[in-house]
Amino acid sequence: MHVIFVEPGFPYNQREFVRGLHEAGAAVTGIGEAPLEALDHDLRSWMVGYEHVSSVCNERALYDAVRRVQSRGWVDRMESTVEAHTMFAAKVRESCGIPGTTVQTSFLCRDKPAMKEALRQADIPCAMSTGANSPSEVRDFIDEVGYPVIIKPRDGAGAAGTFRVDDDAGLQQALADSGVDRGASVAVEEFIEGHEGFYDTISVDGKVVHEFISHYYPNVLQAMRTRWISPQIVATNRIDAGSYDEVKLMGRKVIEALGIGTSATHMEWFFGPKGLKFSEIGCRPPGVGAWDLYCASNELDLYSEWGHAIANGCGNGKPTRRYAAGHVTLRPEGDGVISGYTGVDELRADWGAHITDSHFPPPGSPTQPVEAGYMANAWVRLRHADYDTLVSMLDKVGENVKVHVR
């Protein structure tokens, strides 16, 4: 099995996918934006070849690189795991006759209005939505569904560029901030009240071989707009409880409806007064290091499992579900330069055995804004056999560990 992997060098955990493919027995050729000599020794050793391009989001450059690889031998698969790369990889994959996720599936997994229309046709419950290219189209949708609504990029990820609009004054601001009043095309959606979580899978030929469920505390939009909150992502070890059956069934229906074959997926959902509602999907692994939580909580190398799915069409191990695992983001008091921390020594003394990893930028490091996300500034990850105990621990970390600035 010869697999082309798009962008093995950045972000850092991209190298783990290459390792997973290598350990599954695949010969891997990388295509990336860094010179080969800039990659670390282990990463270079896991690849049989490498093509340096100016940008993997330059379709022509990516196509030419793939053709060079094909001129040297047969290519079985071409994989990408970063949201921004998936459509470019799909277009080149099809142009070069390589099996894998199609352009149509990639489009449906990125364009939110088209995604939701396809899912509604498959009887999958999701928010009312539309695509809009002008302020008048946004207003027409609001006249139909009422406030509040969400305005966000058609192909965005996370809460970047996302606005909740509650009234006419907020709409004017959102139209300006989103660029709709200057011709930008956006997704406009009914606001769904409820708890937010995500369902992640690895599928082979459309069949789920690994699945995981995580929760956001609080929901993403609130977490990414509110400095005092220390937001959490918590991966449950109770996924086999009957209460999650509806989520898992919905996820399988989404995979079938969108024509997803052998791939990782990341699906967001809400549960509230209107029941379970599907939010959106990425045909790739989740961000913010969620797979590392799954590895720690399930005593399973998920990168290797993904490699086996791609290279061998099967999983190679089973998750233990022994632990729940969680991530808590620690926000600085304000913007500036980090001067130090309090509460870290106590954290390590009390719960050191439960810490799987952590990140504390050294004093003197510039802070990143709240909107930079869950991996910005400082964070801690813990695991515990009991889900509720873990959530309590994460709460206390968020309350007691402080990031000071000057």
pLDDT in tens, 324-333: 999 999 999 9
Q: Do 227 and 141 share a domain, yes or no?
A: no
Q: Do 210 and 181 share a domain, yes or no?
A: no
Residues 6+ apart with CB under 8 A from 54: 33, 61
Q: Do 329 and 267 share a domain, yes or no?
A: yes
Residues 6+ apart with CB under 8 A from 296: 323, 325, 356, 357, 381, 383
Adjacent-strand bridge partners of 126: 278
Q: What is the mean pLDDT of the chain?
A: 95
By CB atoms closer than 10 A (0-12, 13-18, 19+), residue 44 is middle
62-98 residue pLDDT tens? 999 999 999 999 999 999 999 999 999 999 999 999 9
pLDDT exceeds 70 at position 194: yes
What is this structure's pTM? 0.93
Asked, for residue 350, whether it belongs to a domain, the answer is yes
pLDDT exceeds 70 at position 127: yes
Radius of gyration from C-alpha coordinates of the chain: 22
Range of the domain at 186: 128-190
Q: Do 200 and 309 share a domain, yes or no?
A: yes
pLDDT exceeds 80 at position 156: no
Asked, for residue 74, whether it belongs to a domain, the answer is yes
pLDDT exceeds 70 at position 157: no
Q: Do 234 and 341 share a domain, yes or no?
A: yes
| Average pLDDT for 188-208 | 96
**Last residue in a domain, options 155, 190, 225:** 190
Asked, for residue 115, whether it belongs to a domain, the answer is no
Q: What CATH number does residue 226 fall under?
A: 3.30.470.20
Q: Do 14 and 58 share a domain, yes or no?
A: yes
Residues 6+ apart with CB under 8 A from 69: 4, 29, 31, 49, 51, 75
Q: Do 254 and 133 share a domain, yes or no?
A: no
Q: Please give the pLDDT value at position 154.
A: 84
Q: What CATH number does residue 69 fall under?
A: 3.40.50.20
Asked, for residue 277, whether it belongs to a domain, the answer is yes
Adjacent-strand bridge partners of 378: 330
Q: Do 276 and 379 share a domain, yes or no?
A: yes
Asked, for residue 13, whether it belongs to a domain, the answer is yes
pLDDT exceeds 70 at position 125: yes
How many C-beta atoms surround the C-beta of residue 53 within 10 A?
A: 19
pLDDT exceeds 70 at position 158: no
Number of folded domains that form the chain: 3
Q: Do 335 and 363 share a domain, yes or no?
A: yes
**Can you list the pairs that 213-216 forms with residues at least 24 positions away whose Cβ atoms lie under 8 Å?**
213/239, 213/244, 213/247, 213/248, 214/286, 214/290, 214/293
Q: Please give the pLDDT value at position 161.
A: 83
Residue carrying the six token digits 């909580």 = 297
370-382 residue pLDDT tens? 989 999 999 999 9
